[in-house]
Structure formats: structure tokens, C-alpha cells
Amino acid sequence: MADPVQGPIEPGQTIGILGGGQLARMLALAAARLGLKTIVLAPEKDSRPVLGVAWRHLDADYDDKSALKELAAHSAIVTYEFENVPVAAVKYLASRVPVAPGHGPLETTQDRLLEKRFLAGLGIETARFDDVTHAEDLATAGAATGFPAILKTRRGGYDGKGQVKVAAADELAKAWNELGKVPSCLEGFVAFDGEASIVAARGVNGEFAAFDLTENTHRNHILWTSRVPARWNGAMTEKAHDIARRIGAAFDYVGVFAVEFFVVGNKLIVNEIAPRVHNSGHWTLDGAETSQFEQHVRAICGWPLGATRRHSDAEMTNLIGEEVNAWAKLAEEDNAHIHLYGKREARPGRKMAHVTRTWPLGRFPGKPA
């Protein structure tokens, strides 16, 4: 393990980033504002968004040791933009250069079962869940979760991929076959009133800060809108902050992370943890004193965390696939802030851009859905 960072990383130094998508792009732009350079390691096919906004780009796979070495050599600190980077790459880097967040949160959040067990160990409520390693586990798991339930692969799922809904016990075997008989986790279905998330940050000395509770909607399992204020009251925000604080402390986390919740009555049930900046925090670019991207840079560089106050009410909407063609129309809207990711091809389901509409504090139009 490399030595931990001694004192803050200074303007002029370089941040290494694994991954070259829109999150890396927005991290690079935030770093530039603070006088920090960025070097990105990502295979070319994924890295359009960072071309021209990062100082350097290493076009290589995440398991390319010579590229990882080069990344480490240039970087004062390395971070990652998504949780599916190989743990081995992060461990290899960590032997040469400080990495934040470390491989611990990565290992836990890459595996739905480990993630649920981690949360249960902290006494944080999740959906009922059970391990399904072999076909024989299906019946026990079904008894543990009840129905309806969702069978999810332990690893590699995102945006609704790697999961099948199961209405009753007799559908379990079919779902198991459909997912390819890979190690999975059966989760009880949560009949939620709404979905929410918290984007939080933890500094090198355990300093904690979190943005306001965000109310989210999804479409085809992909985040569609994020709104602040959420429709729930301040006590719910405090509960969410408390959960995030405990998660951050348990990981000894450094950087920004997100916790996604199901809201049931006045209960918050954790759905998942993302060890990175998060789509539901994009509104902070236009509605908060500090953006989640600057906050992540501050945290991993050992700077004090920035203020998380909102200066505006806000609603972020993702532009998926061809929806990006609405940019010209959106540019006419008086309160719309457009962010385009520089991707060439508007493939279906691909996050191409987002727009955040803002209003003066307290002037969010109508009650959130």
C-alpha cells in the first residue's frame, strides 16, 4: 500500500481517473477549476467524453499493467468514476500511489450480496434478501424474502440489467435459468411510495458533508429525474444523512458516494450504494454552492469539504439516446442549464446529456410528483 497522502494535493498536481465517461468528464472540469490536472485511463471506445477536457488520456484496458504504471507515475492521487473497474487494477495502483476511495468500498458494492450484508451489519434496513449460489438455494431464499421478489446477479448489473422479477415461487427456476445460473441474490420487492438518494462526501480526516435529500424517478430502470427539494420533510433528510454518515465511517471512505433509498411511509430502505459521484447529484452543478464533482476532488485531495447548501430549487432530467436532440429547444428555456457529454452516437438507453431547471429557493413549481 502506498503511503497515505501527506497534506493536501496542490494546484498544478494531477489526479488520475479510471474511466472516461461523463462522470470523469465532469470531474475533470471541476478539477480544472481548482487548478488541478487530470489524466484518464480508459479504452478509447468509452472515452469520448473526456477527450479534450482532461490533460492526458491513456487509451488502454483497465488491466493493462504498463498503462496502470504510467497512470500511477503521473498521478498524485487516483480515483475511479464507476464501480465496475476491476478491483485488481485498483489494488495494483494502490501499491504505487494513493487511491481514493480505496478498493474496500469497490469490493463490497460490486457484489449485491456483500453490499446487503454490509448494510445489515450496520443495522441499516434493506429489502429482505438471501443468497442464491445453487439452484437448491432458490426455495429457501423465496421463503426468506416472500413474493413478489427480484432475482439479481450478484455482480455486473446496472440500469436494470442482470435482474428478473419473480411473482411467485414457481417462477424462481425460470428466472435462475434466465440469468445464466450465476451467483445471485434474491430480494424481496419493496412497494415504495417514492425513490430518493443522498449524495455525501467524507474527507481524509473523517469530515462529513451531504447534499439535500433528492427525489428521483426512473424510466426503464434508468434514472430520469432528480428533484430538490424532495417531497419529504427535513426529518427524512436527517435520517438519510445519518445512514450515509454510518456507511461512510464503516468504509473509512474518502470521496463522494451516493446512497439510493426506497421511501416507505417515513422509513428509508437502502437500495444500493454507489462509491462515486452519482447521476442523482448532477443538480448540484447548478443548484448547490459546491458541485458533487468539486466535492469529490476536494475530498480525495485532502482539501476541506465545500458547502453543500442549495441556492436554488432544482430538477435534473437525463437526456437518453435521441432525446439529446432537444438541446436547441432546451437552450430557449429561461431556467434550463444544459450539460452535453460530447458523445458521438446517440444509442438507445445511452446517457447523452442532462438538463437542470432551477428556480429561486422555495419556488419549485407545484408539489413534486
Nearest 5°: the CA angle 205, 209, 211 is 160
Nearer to its own copies, 102 or 306 (CB): 306
Nearer to its own copies, 296 or 337 (CB): 337
Q: Is 366 helix (H, G, I), strand (E, B) or coil?
A: coil
Nearest distance, CB of residue 137 and its own copies, angstroms: 47
Cβ–Cβ < 8 Å for 348, 159? no
- Rg of the chain over Cα atoms, rounded to whole angstroms, equals 20
Round to whole Å and give the CA distance between 184 and 186: 7
Nearer to its own copies, 81 or 130 (CB): 81
Question: Looking at residue 9, what DSSP letter applies?
Answer: P
Residues near its own copies, by CB under 8 A: 8, 11-12, 25, 29, 32-35, 37-38, 51-56, 289-290, 298, 303-304, 307, 311-312, 324, 327-328, 331-332, 334-335, 337-342, 344, 353, 358, 360-361
Cβ–Cβ < 8 Å for 132, 164? no
Based on the number of CB atoms within 10 Å of its own CB, is 355 exposed (0-12), middle (13-18) or buried (19 or more)? buried
What secondary structure does DSSP assign to 296-308, as a single string?
A: HHHHHTTPPPPP-
Nearest 5°: the CA angle 191, 267, 162 is 45
C-alpha torsion 86→16→82→324, nearest 10 = -140
Nearest distance, CB of residue 81 and its own copies, angstroms: 16
Nearer to its own copies, 227 or 337 (CB): 337
Round to whole Å and give the CA distance between 125 and 70: 42
Question: Looking at residue 220, what DSSP letter applies?
Answer: T
Nearer to its own copies, 31 or 230 (CB): 31
Based on the number of CB atoms within 10 Å of its own CB, is 274 exposed (0-12), middle (13-18) or buried (19 or more)? buried
Length of the chain: 369
Nearest distance, CB of residue 228 and its own copies, angstroms: 14
Nearest distance, CB of residue 160 and its own copies, angstroms: 26
Cβ–Cβ < 8 Å for 367, 231? yes
Nearest distance, CB of residue 53 and its own copies, angstroms: 5
Of 287, 350, 280, residue with least CA distance to 319:
350
Nearest distance, CB of residue 233 and its own copies, angstroms: 21
Type of residue found at 180: G
Nearer to its own copies, 8 or 104 (CB): 8
Nearest distance, CB of residue 352 and its own copies, angstroms: 9
Nearer to its own copies, 109 or 317 (CB): 317
Nearest distance, CB of residue 31 and its own copies, angstroms: 10
Nearer to its own copies, 14 or 237 (CB): 14
